[in-house]
Structure 1
Amino acid sequence: MLQLFLLPFAGGNRFSYDFLIKKLKTNTSNIKCYPLELPGRGRRFGEKLARDKKLAIDDYLHQLTKLRDKTPYIIYGHSMGATLGLSIIKRMEEKNDAPLQFIATGNAGPKIKEENEDKPSTKKHLLNDEKFKKALRKLGGIPDEILENEELYSFFSSILRADFQILEEGGNADQSIIINTPIYALMGDQEKSVKHINNWQKFTNTSFKAQVLTGNHFFIHEHTETLTTIILSTYKKA
């Protein structure tokens, strides 16, 4: 058996990986999938929104530790999930319970920022609604039905702003992290920072693989087969 812990992207929740979980279940029953989510998202909507990076990492660690059994496991994070995943794995290694692999998608790793991203006026969570919607459209993955419906937008924008705040005000502690877990990084060829994908190699003492696939930031929905193959190949080596 293998445990697979899934960390969502900004605005995501435990349902964000249903497309991948469904595909995995058609291939094997030996992988237990655990999609996690932060307070204020998905089924945890009634809880206060998490806006602090350290608290978000601690929350994920608490969930993961409660769900862990004695079988091998993988941590997979997309975008924001990959950012938080690095710190989570470091903490798990300190507990002598390291994963078999860290799969990071839609993310070029620590130290890589968009041009002018460090300027306060460009932080996404501080943008007015017009500019925020423009940034979300550029990023992709948010249906126009949500952006054009004020009630839906109002609901989801608070969650998205909270997630961007976690990323944009969470500090740079992860830039000095080096893990002993293999990293497999994947990005879409239309992503702005895709040329920096090999940056992830700096953050592991062991094996590293990288792959660029066709698509934008949410290329994962078009490449479920590739993700499934990577996960299954790790399981077979366990």
Structure 2
Amino acid sequence: MMQVFMLHFAGGNCYSYDFLKRLLPVGFQGIPLELPGRGRRISEGLLYSRADAIADYSRQIAALRDPGCSYIIYGHSMGASLGLYLARDFEQQNDPPAALVVTGNAGPGISDEEPGSPQRYLLGYEEFKDELRRLGGISEELLASKELYDFFEPIIRADFQIVDEEKDPDDELTVHVPVIAVMGSDEKNADQIDNWKNYARGYFSGKTLPGNHFFIYDYAQELKNTIVNSRKLLLHGF
């Protein structure tokens, strides 16, 4: 059995990867995790720092790990950034993942914000809504409903505050585990996907698929294949 720990994107929750869980074949256990303040953890307080988010995810993985199984960490966007830190931390604990699969993210230190622009989580009400429209992945019905949007906005602002810390990544942020990165061809920094090589001391593979930041929903089969095929790297000793 191969466990697949799934880290959601900003504003996501444990249900964000239902589409992917259904596709995983026998022998793969999809385990979507979530940060406090959404989904099944809606009654818990939101987190606002990278360190707190990493610590929370680390506790979840440690509690759910089957020591008799290998595991993969998969994250999209914010989840990709946090996944790198988690892979490093578990590697240092002599329990490294078989692979780190990251999507929708060009790696630490790369931002799609214009130089000198305000941090996204500090944008005004309408400006923040416009930024969410630009990124895609959120229905216009939600953005148009004041009740739904006012419920959702604090969650994604908190997540963006965590994401914005990636402008200042930790020193020595590298892993020896295989890193497989995939981005949508229309993403602003898709041409910088090889930035992940700076953080992968071992095997690295990067590719783009047609689409925007949320291309994963249009290419679910390809995403599933990427995750499943990463198991072969473990079998070949990478």
Bin for the TM-score computed over the shorter chain? over 0.9
**Counterparts of residues 1-238 of structure 1 (less than 5 Å):** 1-24=1-24, 28-70=25-67, 71-117=69-115, 119=116, 122-169=118-165, 172-174=168-170, 176-236=172-232, 238=235
Q: Give 1:60 deviation, angstroms.
A: 0.2
SS at match of 2:44: coil
Q: Give 1:174 deviation, angstroms.
A: 3.4
Q: 1:130 to 1:15 in 2, by over 3 A?
A: same
Letter in 2 for 1:97: D
SS at match of 1:5: strand
SS at match of 1:109: coil
Q: Give 1:114 deviation, angstroms.
A: 2.6
Paired with 1:233 and 1:171, the residues of 2 have a C-alpha distance of: 31
Paired with 1:124 and 1:183, the residues of 2 have a C-alpha distance of: 28
SS at match of 1:173: coil
Q: 1:170 to 1:183 in 2, by over 3 A?
A: closer
- In structure 1, stretches of 5+ residues that fail to align are none
Matched pairs, number: 233
Q: Give 1:145 deviation, angstroms.
A: 0.6
Paired with 1:122 and 1:21, the residues of 2 have a C-alpha distance of: 36
Q: Give 1:115 deviation, angstroms.
A: 4.5
Contact 1:183 / 1:208 at 8 angstroms: preserved in 2?
A: yes
Q: Deviations over 1:23-60 (max 9, x none)?
A: 11xxx221111100001011000000111110000000
Q: Give 1:206 deviation, angstroms.
A: 0.5
Q: TM-score, normalised by structure 2?
A: 0.94
SS at match of 2:170: helix
Identity of aligned residues (%): 46
SS at match of 2:192: helix
Paired with 2:231 and 2:82, the residues of 1 have a C-alpha distance of: 23
Paired with 2:101 and 2:165, the residues of 1 have a C-alpha distance of: 24
Paired with 2:11 and 2:183, the residues of 1 have a C-alpha distance of: 19
Paired with 2:43 and 2:113, the residues of 1 have a C-alpha distance of: 36
Q: 1:209 to 1:81 in 2, by over 3 A?
A: same
SS at match of 2:23: helix
Paired with 2:158 and 2:179, the residues of 1 have a C-alpha distance of: 27
Q: Give 1:170 deviation, angstroms.
A: 6.1
Q: Give 1:229 deviation, angstroms.
A: 1.1
Letter in 2 for 1:154: D
- In structure 2, stretches of 5+ residues that fail to align are none
Paired with 1:218 and 1:183, the residues of 2 have a C-alpha distance of: 20
SS at match of 2:37: coil
